[in-house]
Amino acid sequence: MSKPISIRRVTRLAPKSLGVILALAGVLATGLLHAEPASKTSDAADAEHKEKKVEVATFGNGCFWCTEAVFEELKGVESAVSGYSGGRVPNPTYEQVCTGATGHAEVIQVTYDPAVITFPELLEVFWKTHDPTTLNQQGPDHGTQYRSAVFYHSDEQRELAEKYKQRLDESGAFDAPIVTEITKFQKFYPAEDYHQQYFEDNPRQPYCRAVVKPKVVKFRKAFHDKLKVSDKPGDEEE
């Protein structure tokens, strides 16, 4: 079943909001430890690769077709998988989640290398690429499945997310209070195969052309220095 086409409002943050979010990301990232330089020997490089530490973050910020297309382009992100979290029913289907009855949010589960991209930097992208002030809504998409949420995997993630949210509210970065839910992660269910890499596989689909592409183009401009590939074809807005 194809996702109903609904033209969501693409959030346009004021310059003040963007500056505040960027500044907070820098403050929260200060003091993080950096890995020692890799050994020059091939054996040491192989060992380092095998022992490379990766972490997981889970975000709900609207339709996962959009959020997957954003997070998978970041340097340090190993994978970005569309799915469902925060609900009551095991192994929900897309159709069930769309009813709102299961309690799940559409989420993206990000596996990342913290030596390349930090959790505060992921939070920066999270808050900068959706509207966290609308309860159970992103533009015209309504329902608890579209709620703004951080499902934290550790106390450190919880503390960083709460601190970031508090500072954004205190700074007046948004015109309304942030309603982002910060909840302990319980379970992640990957979405159906056809949802994965949806924008990449269906760039000409009407919803992707009207909603996903403009959002991704704005993201690429704002986070140019954090992209795996700095220059992408077709970055002009239609």
Determine the Cα–Cα distance for residues 169 and 192; give it in Å rounded to an integer. 36
Single out the residue of 58, 157, 165, 161 nearest to residue 107, CA to CA: 58
Q: Within 13 Å, how many C-alpha atoms sit on residue 186's CB side?
A: 12
Catalytic: which of 63, 66, 98, 208?
A: 63
Active-site residue, 66 included? no
Determine the Cα–Cα distance for residues 3 and 118; give it in Å rounded to an integer. 32
Determine the Cα–Cα distance for residues 193 and 59; give it in Å rounded to an integer. 19
Helix (H) or strand (E) holding 198: helix 198-201
For helices 119-128 and 15-29, angle between their N-to-C axes, nearest 10 degrees: 170
- Are 228 and 209 contacting, i.e. CB atoms less than 8 angstroms apart? no
Q: Token digits for 131?
A: 């509207």
- Annotated catalytic sites, by residue? 63
